[in-house]
């Protein structure tokens, strides 16, 4: 089925990074299989620092696996990922897999925030404690500094009155906003979002997207997997359409969303728009 989809060999890299600046994320030739299932099939992507990249595509396209590869949660079989110029993982030749030491992986992961569809908050910690936990545990901040910053971040996402609430007492939209504040707590240069609004009741989607829009353009690089085409249109610098493990098409939202070149992109958009 994959081969029935005509894909140009090299999708144009539109998010060109100015000379002398490291790309926030540079993905080259990344391939990943689970058994016989090739989930990523030669992915190339360059993300400019401070830009917002929205990844769209059908279920099973490999979007989550791509995010997990950027965050070291999956190892590419071939190709490499660099975050801020630092190598995430590389297999240069068949038997020469250069892996980073675990310590380096953990240090890099601390520079990357991750927001999941299912919030993944600690249920036994308050909103404030959820946000303060990592900075305090990693020694990045004293306990009181971590709590102070957590209160600031929760205020930023509109939850100043919920600092002491436990996740079970918060709506899905509020929980996801806590999760975004938590992802920001270590001041990461890069935040990955994997369908952050897919588990929410429709009336709660807007409040989470509003927080993400505020975050866009503040200097943090965002990569967002979402089906919210309106968000892509308003907030994205680059929209990437993935299908069957490949980037089929990428470019500015107006081009990819309003004038898609590839039939597969048109077909997908006609279903979600
Ligand atoms: P998407 O996020 O675009 O829906 P995924 O990256 O989650 O796609 O999954 C792509 C394919 O990889 C799917 O067929 C999925 O079943 C498979 N897959 C993902 N993770 C694993 C895993 N850990 N083990 C086996 N198969 C997996
Ligand atoms: Mg997914």
The 3-class SS string of the chain reads CHHHCCCCCCCCCCCCCCCCCCCCEEEEEEEEEECCEEEEEEEEEEECCCCEEEEECCCCCCHHHHHHHHCCCCCCCEEEEEECCEEEEEEEECCEEECCCHHHHHHHHCCEEEECCCCCCCCCCCHHHHHHHHHHHCCCCCHHHHHHHHHHHHHHCCCHHHCCCCHHHCCHHHHHHHHHHHHHCCCCCEEEEECCCCCCCHHHHHHHHHHHHHHCCCCCEEEEECCCHHHHHHHCCEEEEEECCEEEEEECHHHHHHCCCCHHHHHHHHHHC
Ligand 1 atom closest to Cα of residue 68: 6
pLDDT (0 to 100) of residue 16: 67
Distance 246 CA to ligand 1 centre (A): 13
Distance 11 CA to ligand 1 centre (A): 22
Distance 169 CA to ligand 1 centre (A): 32
Contact by Cβ (8 Å): 221, 51: yes
pLDDT, tens digit, 9 for 90 and up, residues 4-47: 333 444 444 455 677 778 899 999 999 999 999 999 999 999 99
**Sheet architecture: strand order including 86-93:** 37-47, 25-34, 78-83, 86-93, 96-98
pLDDT (0 to 100) of residue 91: 44
Query: What is the ipTM metric for this complex?
Result: 0.98
The three state secondary structure string of 118-171 is: CCCCCCCCCHHHHHHHHHHHCCCCCHHHHHHHHHHHHHHCCCHHHCCCCHHHCC
Distance 64 CA to ligand 2 centre (A): 4
Give the number of whichever ligand sits closest to the CA of residue 116.
Answer: 2
pLDDT (0 to 100) of residue 9: 43
Candidates 41, 83, 100, 104; CA nearest to 188 is 83
Burial class (CB in 10 A: 0-12, 13-18, 19+), 21: exposed
| Cα–Cα distance measured from residue 179 to residue 207, given in angstroms and rounded to the nearest whole number | 13
Intervals of the chain under pLDDT 50: 1-13, 90-96
Closest residue (by CA) to atom 7 of ligand 1? Answer: 64
Distance 207 CA to ligand 1 centre (A): 29
pLDDT (0 to 100) of residue 89: 53
Q: What angle do CA 182, 156, 121 make, to 5 degrees?
A: 25
Closest residue (by CA) to atom 19 of ligand 1? Answer: 65
pLDDT (0 to 100) of residue 7: 40
Q: Which residues line ligand 1 (CB under 6 A)?
A: 34, 37, 39, 57, 59-65
Ligand 1 atom closest to Cα of residue 62: 6
Ligand 1 atom closest to Cα of residue 225: 2
Residues near 99 by Cβ (< 8 Å), separated by ≥ 6? 75, 89
Closest residue (by CA) to atom 6 of ligand 1? Answer: 62
Distance 149 CA to ligand 2 centre (A): 31
| Cα–Cα distance measured from residue 45 to residue 139, given in angstroms and rounded to the nearest whole number | 33
pLDDT, tens digit, 9 for 90 and up, residues 95-111: 445 566 777 777 777 88
Output phi, psi for 247, to 5 deg.
-85, 110
Give the number of whichever ligand sits closest to the CA of residue 117.
Answer: 2
């Amino acid at each position: 089925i994959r081969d029935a989809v005509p894909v140009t060999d090299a999708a144009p890299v539109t998010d060109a990074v100015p000379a002398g600046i490291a790309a926030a994320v540079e993905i080259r030739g990344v391939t990943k299989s689970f058994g016989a299932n090739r989930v990523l099939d030669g992915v190339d992507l360059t993300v400019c620092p401070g830009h917002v990249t929205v990844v769209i595509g059908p279920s099973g396209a490999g979007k989550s696996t791509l995010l997990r590869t950027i965050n070291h949660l999956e190892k590419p079989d071939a190709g490499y990922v660099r975050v801020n110029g630092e190598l995430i993982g590389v297999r240069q030749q068949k038997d020469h897999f250069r892996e980073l030491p675990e310590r380096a992986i953990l240090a890099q992961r601390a520079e990357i925030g991750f927001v999941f569809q299912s919030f993944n908050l600690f249920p036994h910690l308050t909103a404030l404690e959820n946000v303060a936990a990592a900075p305090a545990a990693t020694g990045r901040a004293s306990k009181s500094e971590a709590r102070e910053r957590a209160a600031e971040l929760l205020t930023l996402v509109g939850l100043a009155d919920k600092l002491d609430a436990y996740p079970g007492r918060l709506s899905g939209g509020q929980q996801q906003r806590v999760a975004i504040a938590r992802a920001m707590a270590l001041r990461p240069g890069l935040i990955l979002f994997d369908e952050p609004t897919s588990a929410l009741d429709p009336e709660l989607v807007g409040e989470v997207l509003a927080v993400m829009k505020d975050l866009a353009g503040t200097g943090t690089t965002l990569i967002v997997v979402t089906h919210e085409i309106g968000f892509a249109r308003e907030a994205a610098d680059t929209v990437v359409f993935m299908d069957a493990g490949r980037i089929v098409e990428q470019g500015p939202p107006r081009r990819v969303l309003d004038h898609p070149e590839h039939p597969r992109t048109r077909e997908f958009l006609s279903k979600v728009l």
